[in-house]
């Protein structure tokens, strides 16, 4: 039996449904076969009905595959049917590895939208060589981060007149008229990422996937505080360290370019840029009730109280896609 070109796993979730809708509205619809996959047949069918209504394209007869991240046989069966699995089931640190393993072992390419450095680098360490042997690709972080940053650094490096030492990148948050919200899966990923940061073992993982010592430039990037004012043509407000995967992705790309192509690696420092009004609004709302003098213990607090924080009723209006 021939494989389905694209299997969208987690299609009944907020992000998965959005991905499927964008695909149905794209020029590739009709040229690539596709299926939706997840745990609940009724929810998946409802997503197909909703997308048909929104797009005017009838996709209600799209194949549905029942698969669950806790059922490895169901994942293997899904992978055997797919050329490419587009995995939208997060947080990936909790649910990602079984899907990657099933894909690699059963000959399917795997694409996800993770922004979780520990997960992304661990998957490279555990399954990178096996993926090469089986002729499949594991392509992580294909969401809004970190493609723009990684390609942007590469683009600048190729066209820079001289030797490029390092880049400072900035992520800007821009809200619509309704203000800010975040879907539940992304929120859980953020909280878990902070709470588990000290326990991820990233140092050992990075030594395993980047064993060769590469030469760094003599020029040191400017020292920035944890929060510092910025006033440039395109950037105004306050800059904070960006907690996403941009730095992790760029560093691995630069390591590969250095080791494989003998190209000088470019350093990367990533920030989030918030205008003062946005920053003060977010901080006053989200930190309401927190004792800031204990903020230095945030990692320990979150690790012990992670499940409580995720389910706080006061945060539910802030979350979307529940």
Domain ranges of the chain: 4-139, 147-286
Nearest to 126 by CA among 188, 208, 207: 208
Residue 286 reports pLDDT greater than 60: no
* DSSP type of residue 38: E
pLDDT of residue 275 exceeding 80: no
Lowest mean pLDDT, pick from 176-185, 293-302, 310-319: 293-302
Categorise residue 54: left if φ over 0, alpha if ψ from -120 to 50, beta otherwise.
alpha
Spatial CA neighbour of 69 closest among 110, 40, 109, 98: 98
CA contacts within 13 A on the Cβ side of 89: 25
Strands 236-241 and 319-320: unpaired
Tens digits of per-residue pLDDT, 180-203?
666 677 767 777 776 666 678 899
- Report the DSSP beta bridge partners of residue 239: 228, 273
Return the DSSP state at 56: S
Question: How high is the pLDDT of residue 192?
Answer: 74
> Within 13 Å of residue 48, how many CA atoms lie on the same side as its CB?
20
CA torsion, points 245, 217, 164, 121, in degrees to nearest 10? -20
- The arithmetic mean of pLDDT across residues 259-278, rounded, is 86
The model's confidence at residue 87, banded by pLDDT at 50, 70 and 90, is: very high
Residue 173: pLDDT above 90? no
- Binned at pLDDT 50, 70 and 90, residue 244 comes out as confident
**Mean pLDDT to the nearest integer, 70-88:** 99
Higher pLDDT, 53 or 313: 53
- Would you state the pLDDT for residue 232? 86
Condensed to tens digits (0 to 9), the pLDDT of residues 206-221 reads 999 999 999 887 888 8
Rounded to an integer, the average pLDDT of 291-318 is: 45
Average model confidence (pLDDT) across the chain: 86
* CA atoms within 13 Å, Cβ hemisphere of 264: 13
Share of the chain above pLDDT 70, in %: 81
Which has more pLDDT, 186 or 161?
161
Q: pLDDT class for 63, splitting at 50, 70, 90?
A: very high
Q: What whole-number distance in Å separates Cα of residue 149 and Cα of residue 139?
A: 16
CATH (residue range 4-139):
3.40.50.720
Instruction: Say yes or no to pLDDT of 289 above 70.
Output: no
């Amino acid at each position: 039996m021939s494989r389905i070109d694209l299997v969208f796993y987690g299609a009944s979730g907020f992000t998965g449904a959005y991905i499927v809708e964008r695909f149905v509205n794209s020029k590739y619809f009709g040229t690539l076969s596709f299926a939706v996959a997840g745990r609940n047949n009724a929810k998946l069918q409802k997503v197909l009905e909703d997308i048909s209504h929104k797009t005017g394209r009838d996709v209600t007869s799209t194949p549905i595959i029942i698969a669950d991240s806790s059922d490895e046989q169901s994942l293997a069966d899904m992978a055997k049917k797919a050329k490419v699995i587009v995995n939208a089931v997060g947080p990936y640190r909790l649910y990602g590895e079984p899907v990657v393993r099933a894909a690699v072992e059963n000959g399917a390419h795997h694409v996800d939208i993770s922004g979780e450095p520990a997960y992304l680098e661990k998957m490279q360490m555990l399954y990178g060589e096996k993926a090469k042997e089986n002729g499949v690709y594991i392509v992580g972080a294909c969401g809004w981060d970190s493609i723009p940053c990684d390609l942007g650094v590469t683009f600048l490096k190729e066209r820079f007149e001289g030797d490029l030492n390092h880049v400072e990148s900035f992520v800007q948050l821009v809200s619509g008229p309704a203000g800010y919200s975040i879907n539940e899966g992304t929120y859980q990923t953020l909280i878990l990422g902070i709470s588990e940061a000290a326990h991820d073992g990233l140092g050992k993982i990075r030594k395993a996937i980047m064993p060769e010592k590469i030469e760094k430039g003599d020029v040191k990037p400017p020292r920035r505080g944890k929060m510092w004012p910025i006033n440039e043509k395109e950037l105004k407000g306050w800059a904070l360290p960006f907690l996403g995967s941009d730095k992790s992705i760029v560093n691995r790309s630069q390591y590969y370019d250095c080791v494989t192509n003998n190209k000088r690696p470019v350093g990367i420092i990533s920030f989030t840029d918030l205008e003062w009004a946005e920053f003060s609004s977010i901080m006053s709302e989200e930190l309401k009730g927190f004792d800031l003098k204990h903020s230095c213990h945030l990692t320990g607090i979150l690790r012990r109280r992670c499940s409580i924080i995720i389910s706080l009723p006061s945060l539910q209006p802030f979350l979307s896609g529940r």
